Amino acid sequence: MKGDSNSINKKPSPFPMNTKLAVISAILASLSVFFSLDSVFHDSRISEMELLPLDAATGPESIAFDAKGEGPYTGISDGRILKWQGKEQRWLEYAAVHAPHLLSKCRGSQDPKLEHVCGRPLGLKFSAKTGELYVADAYLGLLVVGPDDKFATPIAKQAQSVEFHVTNGLDIDPDSGVVYFTDSSMRFPRRQYISAIIAGDRTGRLMKYDPESREVQVLLDSLYFPNGVALSQDGSHLLIVETTTCRILRYWLRTPKAKSLEVIAQLPGFPDNIKRSPRGGFWVALHSKRTKLVQWVLSEPWLCDALLKASVDLQRLSSFLNWRSGKASALRLSEDGQVLEGFGGRAMRAISEVEERYGRLWIGSIAMPFVGIYNVTRPA
């Protein structure tokens, strides 16, 4: 089934080449707007947030808790999965997604060029049915870690004879154990995700893995960088984040609407992961704001092509500008996409996920060297 066809309008260039070069220079100088967010939500500050510094590496993309409520667990830039030991106030090395002989080579790595070797764990979720930890690794595919395992076992690397390229978000049906997950692009690796967005890449897929049959089924294709995915409380539908279009899509699994797709929210920023809130609705992490400038850039194919061909490291540029702006936010949305509350500020940047547990928000990031914790109810 094809994804929603509401795409970015493309127009021919109205500028001569010398003007184009000047505009490109201006755009590169102004891209910091791409990575900033207005203070429309509560402005969290470091003094109000507890920080759990990581062990050597960085980028705690996703947050998970096990059936006993222990954790959080998080995957980091060197391919390891860490578990927080609250009583000891330290991170424990729980597992790794790469082979055992690579552990010493990869430990502590923050080099994107080693991600395809060491792995880059993104989505994490424990199966309520088996207690196993499922991992969506951007380069190594869908993996699973058993309760007594120290290294992840690959269980799926392709669907319909097409290998996964950016295995990203996942969620699990607590009753059946079926895993729903995304493959964000068939063209660009994770370390080139900015290029995928600028190119308007539409090769992403939504899939499901049945642990009993061990089969992978493609539910949707032709998506614009699908990222996080979350199953509704009643299991009737999935919510899928489309990062490039800043949309939340609803894909019906059951009811007379089964297999249909609809847009339920247009967001003010580029979303990453999506997680259910115990108070109802879903938390959506916004990596950065979608400004009018960014909308214009993405609507001009000549400018997008020029940026992709320019001798500029777009990933490094985005990281630098994101560090300069230092703002990110998250929204809690209702089942129908209405904004219930927001959270944001300069204490975190490049927010990737918000997991609400025990009256607190556990905040992941693709860039920061720590997990943030923020109380849902602020002291007076």
294-311: average pLDDT: 79
The pLDDT value recorded for residue 318 is 57
pLDDT at 291 over 80: no
pLDDT in tens, 200-210: 999 999 999 99
Across all residues in the chain, what is the average pLDDT?
Answer: 85
The pLDDT value recorded for residue 317 is 54
pLDDT at 6 over 50: no
pLDDT at 42 over 70: no
- Domains in the chain and their CATH numbers? 17-375 (2.120.10.30)
> What is the spatial distance between Cα 237 and Cα 220, in angstroms, rounded to a whole number?
13
pLDDT in tens, 334-368: 999 999 998 776 656 788 999 999 999 999 998 88
51-78: average pLDDT: 95
Q: Show the tokens assigned to 300.
A: 């001009």
The pLDDT value recorded for residue 24 is 52
249-259: average pLDDT: 96
Least confident of 44-58, 96-110, 182-196, 281-295: 44-58
pLDDT in tens, 91-109: 999 999 999 999 999 999 9
The pLDDT value recorded for residue 308 is 83
pLDDT at 27 over 70: no
Least confident of 111-120, 123-132, 141-150, 322-331: 322-331
Least confident of 43-57, 105-119, 139-153: 43-57
The pLDDT value recorded for residue 31 is 46
pLDDT band at 5 (very low <50, low <70, confident <90, very high): very low
Q: CA angle at residue 76 from 200 to 248, to 5 degrees? A: 35
Residue percentage of the chain with pLDDT more than 70: 81
The pLDDT value recorded for residue 13 is 46
The pLDDT value recorded for residue 310 is 78
Q: What is the sign, positive or negative, of the torsion defined by CA atoms of 94, 95, 96, 97?
A: negative
pLDDT at 333 over 60: yes
Contacting residues for 292 by C-beta, under 8 A, at least 6 apart: none
197-218: average pLDDT: 96
